[in-house]
Structure 1
Amino acid sequence: MATQLLTGNEAVAQAALDGAVSLGTGYPGTPSTEILERFDALGGRAQWAPNEKVALEVGLGVAFANARALVTMKHVGLNVAADPLFSATHTGVAQGLVIAVADDPGMHSSQNEQDTRHYAEAAGAPLLEPGDAQQAYDYTLQALELSARYQLPVILRMTTRVCHSKSPVRPREARMEAPAPRYERDIPGRVMIPAYARPAHERLRERLEALAGDQAPAALLREEGTSTALGIVASGVAAAHAREAAPEARLLEVGMSYPAPMGPIRAFAEQVERCVVLEEGDPYLYRAVRAAGIEVEGKPEPFRCGELTADRVRRILERDGRPEPAPEAAGEPPRLCADCSHRRVFQVLSRLECIVSGDIGCYTLGVMPPFEAMDTCVCMGASVSVGLGLRHALPAEQARRVVSVIGDSTFVHTGINGLVEMAYNPPNTGHVLLILDNDTTAMTGLQEHPGTGRRLDHRPAERKLRYEALALAMGITNVHTVDPAESAEELERLVRDCLASEELAVIVARHPCSLASRRLAAFQGEGESSGS
């Protein structure tokens, strides 16, 4: 197959196709979103799940059925999927299950910059780290093979630069043969009650020990150079920066960070006078190598934050401890689109001096001037629960001003549980939940979700989630729907009345995102053209 110029995300999708992945599932989150969109465009079977936990559980079911699965998410999504992850390493899998997790050093589009490698070690899931698009392709296929061989889910840790940077990729000549799906009953292996989980934990540790000592991961090690003065052990994109910053150095590129291949690392370190570990994120690999009794240097604490660059790597190697120069002034800060209906909502909330418990989405920009109408933003779905906590604790005159604001995709993701809590444990002053329904997952690039009534490929789904009906089914009778773009006055009246009622109230502010509407119209136009 001819060489292609691909991003890391596109390379993972191509590998999933060439690796005969039966199903790709996940939740959109920058910088991981394009993997499933590309997999779908290539002809693979891909779908958006309501959240990452559901996606991983679906993928696990696929792998139980002796078929291959790819599950995608960003780093904070792994928090949501952590519950099944920790059990999945105990149950094991019958076929390849790859969890592609995109970390975001520097927090370009995230609320934190956590390091997925800690999850891999804690859960006992092997983790591979590609440094460019070719490795993203190769390591995805390698992860599928290792997963099937050791019967463990394998994490593919991507980072922002690898996800979105393009480089040449040469795919394999022939696609892997898809295994025949089947189910073999294994109650002790699949049902994690304590009596079965204890031996499962022992099996997990045995598999990881075998993997660490296996010769197969040799494909995940690459050594370059002959210098005896300076050696660099690097993982992920840090290896590319090391090549640019110190071309004279001897380099050991480690593709499997957990379990790390300590034998080759020890042998490498013994051949050089000075050995430095370079990695993006936490000093995870450095600490593991030092714990194994290998003499290496790590990066100073200030370089733990943000992305690495060739310049930052030079400073690490030169032991340059001077404060880093302040980042260049950014351009215009992000803001809500001029015609976005969310603007009317935040104008109302600001005018009414509400205490706004906010959430993750494009509407988080309501915190910016001129609105400054958001007081908290913690994680996906937290607006409902945090708002309830505020209502429970604040004096009545302040509690009556608290409003929870959440977008439609985020509500489906983890807001529904908050609504259940709201109905089950209502504050004395009631509560007001405002669902901003713009008919898309705007924050990550206009993806679909169960509330849009369309599937990943934008074609109609069989069913559409109705938020009003969901609230009514929970016994909340004060439910309203309003178009904020058509009547900001009606929205303000509703918010005022609901706040004054001291009852539980749900207001669905519904108006389609103009960007999504234009994109959908273009898609439908293309469909009609191709069908004519």
Structure 2
Amino acid sequence: MSEKVIMLGNEAFARGAYEAGCKVSAAYPGTPSTEISENIVKYDEIYSEWSPNEKVAMEVAIGASISGVRALASMKHVGLNVAADPLFTVSYIGVTGGLVAIVADDPGLYSSQNEQDTRAVARAAKVPVLEPSDSSEAKEFVKFAFDLSEKYDTPVIVRSTTRLSHSQGMVELNDRIELEDKPYVRDFAKNVMMPGNAKGRHLVVESREAALVKDGCNFPINKVEYNDTKIGFITSGIPYQYVKEAFPNASVLKLGIVNPLPKKLIEEFASKVDTLYIVEELDPIIEEQVKSWGIKAIGKEVLTVQGEYSANLLRKAIGGEKLSIALPAQAPNRPPILCPGCPHRSVYSVLSKLKIHGAGDIGCYTLGAVAPLSVVDTTVCMGASISTLHGMEKAKGKDYIKNWVAVIGDSTFLHTGINSLMNMIYNKGTGTVMILDNSTTGMTGHQDHAATGKTLKGEPTYAIDIAALCKSVGVNHVYEVNAFDTARLEKVVKEATAIDDVAVIITKSPCVLLDKTPVSKQYRINPEVCMKCGMCMKPGCPAITKKENGTIVINDTMCNGCGLCETACKFGAISPVQLR
């Protein structure tokens, strides 16, 4: 009898890859997809790695597929942008061993800079997309995706969302299928995408699309539920759960393949219901195609293109119900903040004091944009801080950026920042780049990267020397500074921004959450000496608060002894207390 266990969606995706006989997995950590690789690493039968970025991860998986084994690449939706270059071309090439990409979208913007819809990218790339609705389907759809990939000679995307990736459900475990490696056959016309070959392969892609449209009508991952035919829903993924909760008696066509759409199946369903609704989060990808076929349907006229859906939202928008559910009291907002003892806070305190503007990047350090630090002025995407600063200089001149720095983390620098730094050097920039090296990929839960000295499996490996790397591409002014040595850091920032040349400042202090040893030292405020000036509160440490009477105190349950507050106090009112 098969074992049944409760799994996160991401855990189930990993299990699906294992059971499907996948042999190679590559990814760059990005919420909400990170836990896929963190679970795949538990299966020794699969080689798994953190790649420097999603483009590299996709290319590693492509190479494995071409060599004849099943391969997986995992990423979040904005990571697909980075991987788009190889994805669009491997759509023409096709596969040898099955090639699957799991891409996790983020409706509701829980941890992302936009809400883009992976299905739109996949349509442009002419790549099939499967969309599971729970953990059980997450596992099974990955297995089906590998079979589909090999049958139709195509990469396949399995689309997730934050809700699916981070929700739990019952999953039935099955044995792994052991597949013989497919033999590699040299095929110049298929695998070398020069223009002459690509023209021929484009015809193959269009033929494949037509076959999937026809055959998709019979795929077992699509489900038709005929109940009350006065109202029918076409939906997929997590929205299916909301539809079933809000309208349990309605007829439903649950699509497992959402690109390309199974046209005849949809036409048949639409013909049997009186009123047809299309329920899909984010863009009207299904809706626009269905309406283009002359089918009357209701979708974004009543539903939003923003954020996550819910059963209550559907009841209100479609059922016209007034919500009678007792809503909980409004909870106070809890905006994200840098942790007590975070080295980024120390760096931003110096930059704030010097009135330096920050061209920002994607990571924990993006929080330097909010009060009271308010240093980061721009944030676009990973690696963009250096490039945008360079663009400012070329637009306004080198004097314009004397009070600007580009701020980027160690993992993000290796992701795409290094390319931007090379561009700054090559095109004779003079900007100052600050690499906030906290020895981890902090924003997604402390994953290792190429400069930490450990692989995804935790095995020791060569650690990239970031300072030496910067020097190797032509940076003549490289400084390494302890993030909490604020006096030296202030001096270095002044010096670096004054010179007419590219400078890199690497602030080195590990993420406070990496150190699991008990706190040995904390700080206390002497109320008899404290002048209540508030200078210690300027960095915004959540451990320091002001009472109604103006007294400033340090919360001993939060203080981890970084000492930044002591540095800020000019009256000697803050001193350390040894705990052990």
TM-score scaled by structure 1? 0.93
Q: Which runs of 5+ in 2 are unaligned?
A: 518-580
Residue 129 of structure 2 corresponds to 127
Are positions 1:446 and 2:441 aligned together?
no
8 Å Cα contact 1:20/1:68 also seen in 2? yes
Residue 488 of structure 1 corresponds to 486
Residue 89 of structure 2 corresponds to 87
8 Å Cα contact 1:245/1:313 also seen in 2? yes
Are positions 1:475 and 2:474 aligned together?
yes
SS at match of 1:220: coil
SS at match of 2:448: coil
8 Å Cα contact 1:235/1:253 also seen in 2? yes
Are positions 1:246 and 2:242 aligned together?
no
8 Å Cα contact 1:391/1:400 also seen in 2? no
Q: How much does 1:218 deviate?
A: 2.2
After superposition, the Cα gap between the structure-2 partners of 1:165 and 1:503, relative to the gap in structure 1 and judged at 3 Å, is: same
Residue 312 of structure 2 corresponds to 311
- Spell out the pairing of 1:46-445 with structure 2 (5 A cutoff): 46-172=48-174, 174-214=175-215, 217-300=218-301, 303-318=304-319, 328=330, 331-394=333-396, 397-427=399-429, 430-445=430-445
Q: Deviations over 1:495-516 (max 9, x none)?
A: 0011112221111101111212
8 Å Cα contact 2:302/2:318 also seen in 1? no
SS at match of 2:516: helix
CA distance in 2, matches of 1:187, 1:316: 54
Are positions 1:513 and 2:511 aligned together?
yes
8 Å Cα contact 2:413/2:435 also seen in 1? yes
8 Å Cα contact 2:6/2:169 also seen in 1? yes
CA distance in 1, matches of 2:298, 2:345: 51
**Larger Rg: 1 or 2?**
2
Q: Deviations over 1:404-450 (max 9, x none)?
A: 010000000000111101111123xx211100000000000000110
CA distance in 2, matches of 1:181, 1:210: 24
Amino acid at match of 1:252: L
CA distance in 1, matches of 2:189, 2:48: 31
Q: How much does 1:466 deviate?
A: 1.3
After superposition, the Cα gap between the structure-2 partners of 1:394 and 1:57, relative to the gap in structure 1 and judged at 3 Å, is: same
CA distance in 1, matches of 2:83, 2:264: 32
After superposition, the Cα gap between the structure-2 partners of 1:319 and 1:116, relative to the gap in structure 1 and judged at 3 Å, is: farther
Residue 498 of structure 2 corresponds to 500
Structure with more helix by fraction: 1
Aligned residues: 512
After superposition, the Cα gap between the structure-2 partners of 1:98 and 1:159, relative to the gap in structure 1 and judged at 3 Å, is: same
Structure 1, 163-172 or 488-497: larger mean CA deviation: 163-172
Superposed CA RMSD in Å reads 1.9
CA distance in 2, matches of 1:321, 1:289: 30
After superposition, the Cα gap between the structure-2 partners of 1:315 and 1:413, relative to the gap in structure 1 and judged at 3 Å, is: same
SS at match of 1:219: coil
Q: How much does 1:518 deviate?
A: 2.8
CA distance in 2, matches of 1:208, 1:344: 54
Amino acid at match of 1:53: K
- Spell out the pairing of 1:460-471 with structure 2 (5 A cutoff): 460-461=460-461, 463-471=462-470
CA distance in 2, matches of 1:250, 1:496: 67
CA distance in 2, matches of 1:118, 1:446: 31
After superposition, the Cα gap between the structure-2 partners of 1:446 and 1:301, relative to the gap in structure 1 and judged at 3 Å, is: farther
Q: How much does 1:317 deviate?
A: 1.6
Structure 1, 413-422 or 213-222: larger mean CA deviation: 213-222
CA distance in 1, matches of 2:180, 2:320: 51
- List structure 1 runs of 4+ shifted beyond 4 angstroms: 319-322, 327-330
Amino acid at match of 1:247: P
SS at match of 1:30: coil
8 Å Cα contact 1:403/1:434 also seen in 2? yes
SS at match of 2:453: coil
Q: Deviations over 1:251-308 (max 9, x none)?
A: 1100100011111111111111001011111111111111122222113366110001
CA distance in 1, matches of 2:148, 2:291: 26
After superposition, the Cα gap between the structure-2 partners of 1:259 and 1:245, relative to the gap in structure 1 and judged at 3 Å, is: same
Q: Which runs of 5+ in 1 are unaligned?
A: 520-532
Q: Deviations over 1:149-180 (max 9, x none)?
A: 011000001011110110111133x3222232
CA distance in 2, matches of 1:136, 1:286: 24
Q: How much does 1:476 deviate?
A: 1.4
Residue 23 of structure 1 corresponds to 24
